[in-house]
Amino acid sequence: MVKKNIIFAVLFLIFFINIHSQTPSYYHYTSSDGLASSTVYDIIQDKDGFMWFATANGISKFDGNHFATFRTKDGLNSNSIISLLEGKNGELYIGNFEKGINLFKNGKIENYCSEIDGISLVISYLILDTSKKNEHKIIAYNGWGDINLINETASGKLNTKVINGLPVYINKLEKLANGDLMALTTVGLYDFKAESLSKLNIEGLPETSVFCLANGNDGSYFIGTQGTIYQLKNKVIIGTYKIDLAANNDVIAILSDKNRNIWFSTRNSGFHMIPNGSNKIIDIGSKLGLQNTLVNKYFEDNEGNIWVSTFGKGVFCINNLYLKSYNENDGLHNNNIYSIAKDSSGKLILGTFNGVSILENGKFDQIKNEYNKPFSEYIYSINNSNNEFFVCGSFLKNEISTISYKDIKFHLFNGLSFCKLSNGLFLFGGRTNSISLQNELNYDQNQAVQVHIFGEDRSTNRINQIFEDSEKTIWIGTGLGLCKASVLLDKVGKLTLKKTFFKSNPILNSKINAIIQDNDNHIWIAGEKGIVSYNLKNNAISSYVTIGDQDLSSSTSLVSDKKNRIWVGNMKGLYLVDGNTIKYFNRQTGLPSDEVYSLFYDQEKNQLAIGSSGGITFLDIDLFDNAVLPQLQVKIISVKAGDSIYTNYNHLVFEPEQRNVSINFKALNFSSSGSVMYQYKLDGTKWKDIHDDFLNFLSLKNGNYNLLIRAKSQNSYWSNPAQISFEVKPRFTETIWFKFLMLLIVALVSSLMVAWHARIQQRKTRKKLKLNQRINDLKHQALSAMMNPHFIFNSLNSVQYLINSNRNEEANDYIAIMAKLIRKNLETAGSGFILLSEEINRLKLYLNLEKLRFQERFSYEIITGNDIDLNTLMIPNMILQPFVENALWHGIINSGVKGLLTISFSFENVEIDGEICKSLMIKVTDNGIGIIEARKHKKADHISKGIQIIEERLRLLSEKMELPQPIMIDDLSNQNNNSHGTEVIISLPPPLYQIIVKE
């Protein structure tokens, strides 16, 4: 373990000696960010991980994103808060400068102790005395003043005591790691035990004013004095650090972090750091603009972040200590770094948007031209070959310029890429789809061989990188894709390239930006669509557009480290690819910019240099690998249901009206708070992503709910989920009793509905039976009407007349026709519908019988349309004869002229209820006296019984089938004064006629 710590210390020392003027990764918070005041006196972290700040204008609680501020309106005795202390049970004691102590407990602030013996309690510091387990004693004191002891009994009563330390003047009381109290006085160190002070006589420690104390990790502690920091252990000085920085070298604040670095401040002179194992003082404050600022306190949180509170400039959180950056404020000539190289003496060569910069011992310089002016050209790439540097840039001269800088030789030329092959051949990449091959370093185009890469013509295709692998294969990355090549001599002995392309691979057939070889003989290629690994042993290609949930498109640069991990520079940040796992770095994790242009791996230091649009950043890989990512823990902050807020989250039961539930939660991560992501799962559903630290559930149904919430930061795993269970009580309408009551009501209503429906059906059935009975009655009446007594009587008289006149043959014919007619009527009497052919035959029998009877006083014709099939069309039975008989007896016979009776059948399109229906039109037309004249000759009480029966029957059929009335009777004189007679039109829509489908 000792050996490991020594190695770690040496690594840390080497790192910081070379970057003593770099800027660390940090966050800065002031009152404009929500902090109560930019003057911060004290910092603590409570047992739940939240940061608390005592300020000149109240106190602030911080969760990494938001400040919650408390002032006198919230219960503080005053807004000038100078000290904070967490009690044994998580309660917070708040030291007011002139108005005593407040207690913050269970979300409420109340006065705890504002005076002792009638004298107002003036406080600079609070400390908890834990020397006795069963005692709760707070020590409140003011520098150079009395020590106030406040002992709280089990019943809550406060017993107080005042100790006067004179003649010793106490600067501060501090607690050692073992719980002992130490008094820092103007004349050295004192033990504070049994409520008394005793001088510590430590060899080598002068009687000097001691201002601050910090515990170390090994049982030692550091004290800050006038011009010196002492490290002590077991009352022996084991280390001394001389401080000679300004006119006043009083060390007034100090911290030893978990990496054993010493952070300290001198009065009104910012803050500094001494790396572990070194005496070198690093000025951190000047990089943060704090060179003349009073630092009040340092605090290291449980993530290893260093918090610095200042007078008037807020609070700083220095995080991700494995990262340090340079930018233009540190002397860098341009923040855009496109290429990085290193010479044999350790100087870094940086290709920027504004020439070439040299970084040596924390200071920047630029190489200059022959006129002693810095180059200002855009630098695309810098290649190191045997400590000679080939610089490709946007130089105007079409020649190679060679200059020296401190024994470093630079060759500068206009171009995009360069490679010196192992056989000594020089390759220059340009913008026009070609590379130039030269045996000597010159720009004589007559001696160079131009080889086109894609095709054989000049075109706009940039050659971004040329790389030679360990097998002497040349890899050429262009704007159109990757080319694998080898140098050959053609038939005439001229240099040329044998080329291979990868057109089937989307990544390799698009813009390529970087090519490297790792320790396992894999070629790695980065481009605009992702990265690719090419195995030189078996030519296997592995493409990576994404790894995990990280998008690797727009990759710009590559390096591999000593563990053979691949670092990928990208326009979205920096990625570390380790097998199938990936880590992601961006501004939220300490980089100055998300746009990474270039990378360089320093194997000697195990350090990564990152060139971006924000300058150059150094990542100490050893420190990064040894850093322990904090395990996130989701904490439920508050639960609100309806108008009620809950602080106890066990057995939550909400009333029926509390259907809207809001839950606030937080997973603390101060080093990269913006990278925290959350997921939740409600009652066994899938995990759902959320981007806020709260959940709102609206209009929840009644029942029991189980909610899980988990979190992860940018490069961590998902945390263990926080669980909260709650119940929403049902409304009465949602209870089982209400459902049972509703079931009873539904059953009762259903029974009533069934009974009512049964009665309705019975009524319908009776009505239907009555209707059918009436129709049957009408059928019999129609049959009787067809054989009306007048007809039979007249027919028999006609037969008697023929017999008496010895016209026996005519009498026989008459009787035969009459018998056929009666038989047909009897045969079809039970049918609702009959074929039209049968109806016409029956009409002919009747009309022929009447012709014999009336001595040919009329003639008739029966007309059927071309679209009528007599053998398939069926019409209602017994509906035509009464109309025909009526036409003869009341129309034609009374006219005194030979009559003509016309019966026609045809189909016509008729509109019924807005729809066109194909209806059968039956017309019975005579040339008699007309219906109007016939009514004049009728007796007043005469009723045409046959027609009345037919009309009623068709009406009943129409009502039954919900159709309009089908019979219309018109006097022809209404149509034309010269016409006489009657026309009966019977319109039968589809339900009143049928068509037999022939098989």
**Which tens digit of pLDDT belongs to each residue from 538-550?**
999 999 999 988 9
Q: Give the single-character DSSP code of 802.
A: H
Task: Please calculate the CA angle 538-543-548 and round it to the nearest 5 degrees.
Answer: 130
- Chain segment 911-923, per-residue pLDDT in tens: 877 778 888 999 9
Question: What mean pLDDT value characterizes the chain?
Answer: 87
Residue of higher predicted confidence among 859 and 135: 859
User: Which region among 184-198, 241-255, 968-982 has the lowest average model confidence (pLDDT)?
Assistant: 968-982
Strand-pair category, 40-45 with 51-55? antiparallel
- Chain segment 395-432, per-residue pLDDT in tens: 988 889 999 998 899 999 999 999 999 999 999 999 99
Q: Give the single-character DSSP code of 432.
A: B
**How confident is the model over 665-687, as a mean pLDDT?**
90
Tell me phi and psi for residue 364, to 5 degrees: -105, 145
- What type of residue is 998? K
Bridge partners, residue 94, by sequence? 84, 102
What pLDDT, on the 0 to 100 scale, is given for residue 550? 94
- 733, 652 contact by CB (below 8 A): no
- Chain segment 692-735, per-residue pLDDT in tens: 899 999 999 989 999 999 999 888 889 999 999 999 998 888 77
What pLDDT, on the 0 to 100 scale, is given for residue 778? 56
On the question of pLDDT at 230 being above 50, the answer is yes
Q: Read off the tokens for 140.
A: 């409140």
What pLDDT, on the 0 to 100 scale, is given for residue 824? 79
- H/E run at residue 28: strand 26-29
- Chain segment 559-576, per-residue pLDDT in tens: 999 999 999 999 999 999
**641/697 Cα distance (integer angstroms):** 9
As a whole-number percent, the residues of the chain with pLDDT over 90 amount to 55
Task: Give the three-class secondary structure for 131.
Answer: coil
Buried b (16+ CB within 10 A) or exposed e, 384-409: eeeeebbbbbebeeeebbebebeebe
pLDDT confidence of 494, banded at 50, 70, 90? confident
**How confident is the model over 156-160, as a mean pLDDT?**
88
Q: How far is CA 499 from CA 456, 479, 488, 502, in A?
A: 12, 16, 10, 10
Tell me phi and psi for residue 765, to 5 degrees: -65, -45
User: Which region among 54-63, 843-852, 964-973 has the lowest average model confidence (pLDDT)?
Assistant: 964-973
- Chain segment 26-40, per-residue pLDDT in tens: 999 999 999 999 999
Residue corresponding to tokens 């003509």: 900
Q: Which fold has domain 1-33+202-321?
A: Methylamine Dehydrogenase; Chain H (2.130.10)
On the question of pLDDT at 12 being above 60, the answer is no
Strand-pair category, 644-646 with 634-641? antiparallel
What pLDDT, on the 0 to 100 scale, is given for residue 559? 98
Task: Give the three-class secondary structure for 346.
Answer: coil
- Chain segment 275-284, per-residue pLDDT in tens: 888 888 888 8
pLDDT confidence of 828, banded at 50, 70, 90? confident
On the question of pLDDT at 744 being above 70, the answer is yes
- H/E run at residue 886: helix 881-887
Indicate the pTM of the whole model: 0.69
On the question of pLDDT at 944 being above 70, the answer is no
- Chain segment 244-265, per-residue pLDDT in tens: 887 789 999 999 999 899 999 9
> Which class would CATH give 634-733?
mainly beta
On the question of pLDDT at 839 being above 60, the answer is yes
Sign of the dihedral defined by the CA atoms of residues 16, 20, 25, 31, in that order: positive
Bridge partners, residue 254, by sequence? 264
User: Which region among 50-64, 481-495, 671-685 has the lowest average model confidence (pLDDT)?
Assistant: 481-495
- 257, 263 contact by CB (below 8 A): yes
What pLDDT, on the 0 to 100 scale, is given for residue 886? 85
Strand-pair category, 652-654 with 181-185? unpaired
Which of 936, 925, 939 minimizes the C-alpha distance to 970?
925
As a whole-number percent, the residues of the chain with pLDDT over 70 amount to 91
Task: Please calculate the CA angle 856-859-865 and round it to the nearest 5 degrees.
Answer: 160
- Chain segment 882-902, per-residue pLDDT in tens: 888 888 888 888 888 889 999
- Chain segment 289-311, per-residue pLDDT in tens: 888 899 999 999 999 999 999 99
User: Which region among 43-47, 127-131, 132-136, 936-940 has the lowest average model confidence (pLDDT)?
Assistant: 936-940
What pLDDT, on the 0 to 100 scale, is given for residue 9? 37
**How confident is the model over 51-58, as a mean pLDDT?**
98
**How confident is the model over 312-341, as a mean pLDDT?**
93
pLDDT confidence of 357, banded at 50, 70, 90? very high
**How confident is the model over 851-875, as a mean pLDDT?**
88
Residue of higher predicted confidence among 786 and 242: 242
What pLDDT, on the 0 to 100 scale, is given for residue 327? 92
Q: Read off the tokens for 159.
A: 């017993």
Strand-pair category, 899-912 with 573-578? unpaired
**761/770 Cα distance (integer angstroms):** 14
- Chain segment 755-781, per-residue pLDDT in tens: 898 888 878 766 775 666 566 555 545
- What type of residue is 167? P
**452/456 Cα distance (integer angstroms):** 5
- 172, 188 contact by CB (below 8 A): no
- Chain segment 417-470, per-residue pLDDT in tens: 999 999 999 999 999 999 999 888 876 666 788 899 998 888 889 999 999 999
pLDDT confidence of 782, banded at 50, 70, 90? low
Q: How far is CA 786 from CA 330, 899, 900, in A?
A: 125, 21, 21
Tell me phi and psi for residue 120, to 5 degrees: -60, 140
- 527, 538 contact by CB (below 8 A): no
Burial of 561 (0-12, 13-18, 19+ CB in 10 A): buried
Q: How far is CA 454 from CA 425, 501, 891, in A?
A: 21, 9, 108
pLDDT confidence of 984, banded at 50, 70, 90? very high
Which of 142, 119, 138 minimizes the C-alpha distance to 130?
138
User: Which region among 14-18, 258-262, 982-986 has the lowest average model confidence (pLDDT)?
Assistant: 14-18
* Stated length of the chain: 999
Residue of higher predicted confidence among 526 and 786: 526
Q: Which fold has domain 503-626?
A: Methylamine Dehydrogenase; Chain H (2.130.10)
CATH, domain range 771-995: 3.30.565.10
What pLDDT, on the 0 to 100 scale, is given for residue 789? 59
